[in-house]
Amino acid sequence: MAVVRPFKAIRPTPELSDKVAALPYDVMNSDEAREMVKGNPYSFLHIDKAEIDLDPSIDHYDQRVYEKAATTLTEMIKNGTFIQDEKACYYVYKQVMDGRAQIGIVGCASIDDYINNIIKKHELTRADKETDRVNHVDFLDANTGPIFLTYKARKGINEIVNKTMENAPVYDFVTEDGIGNTVWVISDDADVAAISQEFADTQYLYIADGHHRSASAVRVGRKRRVQNPEYTGNEEFNFFLSVFFPDEQLYIMDYNRVVVDLNGLTDEEYFAAVENKFTVEEYKGEGQYRPTEKHTFGMFINNKWYILTAKEGTYDANDPVERLDVSILQKNLLNPILGIGDPRTDNRIDFVGGIRGLAELERRVNEGMKVAFSMFPTTIDDLIDIADAGKIMPPKSTWFEPKLLSGLFIHKLE
């Protein structure tokens, strides 16, 4: 039922792949990006965050930023940094972090599948973030940041992927953070057709990461349809760049919380309130406490770690959203006790991705925050259950690693 198709990727030459490839635009600010590209004129950040090559006084959403991005992309195609495949292909993209691999198919998803909920979502998006990427895609006439999609694993796709990886890759490099990135091209007509059919036999696709990029790509596609009323549905603007990973390979890390104060409570009042909904036990082990099962939480306060366990009856075990640990903590502690009503906007709370480790929670508390919570990771099954139920995950529920690099695949809309 899902429509997935190959495309003629614009991609870097093999010798420049490691210099072009860059982290996604939204994991660093402009100042950090300026530092990251020093001495590297090939970095895709010159396109993804084009403001780094303009006067710092220019607003990041100024039209000149998008024009600069388009100009830089055109120049890099003309000077041979990028090449384009002559026929529509699929690509295998393998990433390895800490010995664990995730292997996806790079292709294009359908905006109609997004509109018709064949591609299922689990997050809300912000209009300002969408508009930024709409302008970026529109001015470049290209999708440059791949959407991270998942699907229920299929034996047929796995077999083609494994066969493809027996051949020599076109890219194979390790980034500064130690993550391996390897790419193969699938150009055999029979394999390409088989992959498309396997996805046609797949009921749903799920957005794991990239809700803003996918929503923006769909907005651009709809805009192009208005501009081209005789469109057939086969034009490239009806599709957007994605990487499709089987659900069995994905790994979600913990997404932890730190809070600046106890909302006016004394330590004694705070602990008494927490014990209404959680059992509280001082952690006697070494180092930090990392939860080992659902509905348990680590709490670091006053230079000690505690184990919190949600009491029976304090959450709805039958509701896929309510039984999430992030929901339990929010509804039974952060909101009623610490007064964090909306974690999206409250500046008294901050979020720390699991990639930074639990020692980061201790550091944040020791340097000014009051209390930190370590979380058991949301699972991919949780994500799929919530998307299937048509519900929305609470903010900051999932942290995926490794991040998909930008610049290895570009999908032109014309």
Q: Is residue 108 part of a domain?
A: yes
Degrees, nearest 5: CA angle 238-239-242: 165
Q: Could you report the per-residue pLDDT of 22-53, keeping only the tens digit for each?
A: 999 888 899 999 999 999 999 999 999 999 99
Q: Is residue 389 part of a domain?
A: no
For residues 161 and 273, membership in a common domain is answered with: no
| Average pLDDT value for residue range 183-208 | 98
> What pLDDT is stored for residue 126 in this prediction?
82
For residues 187 and 294, membership in a common domain is answered with: no
Residues shown for the chain: 414
Structural domain span for residue 274: 255-376
For residues 235 and 268, membership in a common domain is answered with: no
Q: How many structural domains compose the chain? A: 2
Distances (CA, A) of 365 to 41, 247, 290, 391: 39, 35, 16, 33
Among 125, 128, 12, 151, which Cα is nearest to 61's? Answer: 128
Q: Is residue 299 part of a domain?
A: yes
d(CA 355, CA 353): 5
For residues 15 and 111, membership in a common domain is answered with: yes
For residues 184 and 307, membership in a common domain is answered with: no
253 bridge partner residues: 399
Q: Are strands 100-110 and 239-246 parallel, antiparallel or unpaired?
A: antiparallel
> What pLDDT is stored for residue 181 in this prediction?
98
* End-to-end CA separation in angstroms for the chain: 25
d(CA 181, CA 377): 25
| Average pLDDT value for residue range 156-179 | 97
User: Tokens 């930074």 belong to which residue?
Assistant: 356
For residues 49 and 169, membership in a common domain is answered with: yes
Compute φ and ψ for 27, nearest 5 degrees.
Answer: -105, 5
> What pLDDT is stored for residue 395 in this prediction?
86
For residues 105 and 19, membership in a common domain is answered with: yes
Among 411, 409, 405, 410, which Cα is nearest to 21's? Answer: 405
Among 196, 203, 193, 225, which Cα is nearest to 113's? Answer: 203
Share of the chain above pLDDT 90, in %: 93
